[in-house]
Amino acid sequence: MKKLIVTLSLCLGAVAATLAQRPAEKIETARIAFLTERLSLTPETAQQFWPVYNQFDKQRRELKKEEFKMRRSTRTDELDNETAQQHINEYFSLKEQQLDLEKTMATELSEVLSSPQMLQLIRAEADFQRMVLRKLGERRRGGEGRKPGMLR
């Protein structure tokens, strides 16, 4: 019962904070509440989890930005074979760095989370991303299906 009250308090606090934020901040606040709830983090576990997770998430975002820049700056119709192969190698190098980062994050978070929670984290991150993309799609189509209070 106490765990339920703490979780509900965290979620309600996140919703209240979300109403006064910019879109990127709203998404971040919603992500924190979503992951906290899905992983059933206690306040003590959350205190240990979030600093480690946020550090790795920042590094992960930087690698994704590099990948995006690389893909956007490459004009495939103007490349010779050698240059194209260089770009392919750079792409896979970035993918390897991303995978290595994920493995390191999993190792470090295993000191805070149980193995089932680690699997829940992987699924929850994907579920949250799908939810945000769905909400953005709904907004672009005119807001049909949007529920009050959900990532406005």
Query: pLDDT by residue (tens digit) across 110-151?
Result: 999 999 999 999 999 999 999 999 988 888 888 655 455 555
- Name the band, by pLDDT with cuts 50, 70 and 90, for residue 71: confident
14 touches 37 (CB < 8 A): no
Inside any domain, residue 129: yes
Inside any domain, residue 21: yes
Inside any domain, residue 84: no
Neighbours of 70 (CB within 10 A): 14
Provide the domain count of the chain.
1
CA-only gyration radius of the chain, Å: 19
What pTM, to 2 d.p., does this model score?
Answer: 0.71
The structure tokens 């807001």 sit at 143
Inside any domain, residue 33: yes
Inside any domain, residue 135: yes
Average pLDDT over residues 1-19: 56
Average pLDDT over residues 14-39: 80
Within 8 A by CB and 6+ apart from 32, the residues are: 14, 50
pLDDT digits (tens, 9 = 90+) for 73-98: 877 777 888 988 998 999 999 999 99
Inside any domain, residue 112: no
- Domain extent, residue 29, equals 1-39+125-152
